[in-house]
Amino acid sequence: MPVGRADGPGALVAQVDQGPALAGDQGRVLGEAAGAVAAQGAEDVPGHALGVYRHGLPADRGGHRGAHRRGRLSILKNADPERKQAAARYIAYLAQEEPENSVESFRLAEQAGVDEIELDVRLTADGVAIVLHDATLDRVAADESGRDLGPVAELTLEQIRGVVLDSGRPVLTFEEALDETTVDLQVEIKAVEVVPEVARIVLSRPADAGRTRFTSFQPEALYLLARHAPDVPRGLITTGYPATDRHPDGIEAVLAATGCSTFYCGWDGLTADLVQRMRDGGYAMHGWPLRTAEDVQRALDLGLGGGTADDPRIARAWLQDAHAGRLNGG
């Protein structure tokens, strides 16, 4: 499918400048990333039409360290001449019986027949890409010995692997996660500095590159991804639209400059007109979160291509009910 063109290098550089202050090599790399993408000019960046977005911690999650319900549901569009009908595509980040980002949750998700698994990546102090949502181990450590150790970015892999998580295992490396999964992956960049390493890993594994999509809330990460892995599809995540506090030059400018193929938007400001405008511009549109049957119906009414659910099994049932209602004239 067509994607936005990087025809606004000025906006791209402005976005990099408006990001977090970075010193030394990291700041230089981001500057080079801006120049590299700007130099591409109007080059199309290939992407996939389908995606999934994980919205972060549920409001009721708090400091709970046990098993969590996490899942992903995407809505596909069929070529119905009267109205494109939705069919379920079942996507999981965490099967509800197992802890997040664990081998057990990945296996259970695949056994349940999911199409895609979402996971989060960060970088250790010694340059290893690991699978972890939070900046620290505090929430997922099995006991107090693994808490208050500070950010994982300041710990070596050996130090991090010395902590037992609530899964009963240590933190997974990104490569281990690739080894333990077979379905498509959405790899959410939680820390900009992990980009070169995850890009290197994915590109060294062509079969895995073909089942990977990178996403992030951070435009800086997407700029770097456009440089390091231009052929792996990317998506921008936001809590809503227009999100001018984070993207003063406009979300459309970020999407175009970073060569994203998908926009993952929270409900705030999300309208049918926006969805249609983005789709007309060549972007796949996903919304979040799907926490009630009404949310699923809203996603369908807006014409979204996908959404996010804390429990994909329930959301899948809601989607099937909504689809049946449409077929029956409801």
Predicted model pTM: 0.73
pLDDT tens sequence across 205-217: 999 999 999 999 9
Amino acid sitting at position 24: G
What is the predicted pLDDT for the residue at 31? 38
What is the predicted pLDDT for the residue at 311? 66
User: What six digits make up the tokens of 293?
Assistant: 């049957």
Amino acid sitting at position 32: E
What is the predicted pLDDT for the residue at 233? 98
User: How is 63-111 classified by DSSP, letter by letter?
Assistant: T--S---EEEEEEEE---SSSPPEEEEEEEEE-TTS-TTSHHHHHHHHH
Cβ atoms of residues 260 and 3 within 8 Å: yes
3-state secondary structure of 53: coil
Q: Could you identify the residue written with the tokens 């077979």?
A: 182
Interacting residues of 183 by C-beta distance below 8 A, sequence separation 6+: 109, 110, 114, 115, 116, 117, 211
Map out the domains of the chain with their CATH numbers: 9-327 (3.20.20.190)
Strand spans (E) along the chain:
70-77, 86-94, 116-123, 129-131, 184-189, 212-216, 234-240, 262-268, 284-290, 306-309
Q: What is the pLDDT along the chain (330 residues), one digit of tens a residue?
A: 222 222 222 211 111 222 333 333 333 333 333 333 333 332 222 222 222 323 232 222 233 333 333 444 455 433 343 333 333 344 444 444 578 888 988 887 787 666 778 899 999 999 999 999 999 999 999 999 999 999 999 999 999 999 999 989 999 999 999 999 999 998 999 999 999 999 999 999 999 999 999 999 999 999 999 999 999 999 999 999 999 999 999 999 999 999 999 999 999 999 999 999 999 999 999 998 888 999 999 999 999 988 776 666 677 788 889 988 865 665
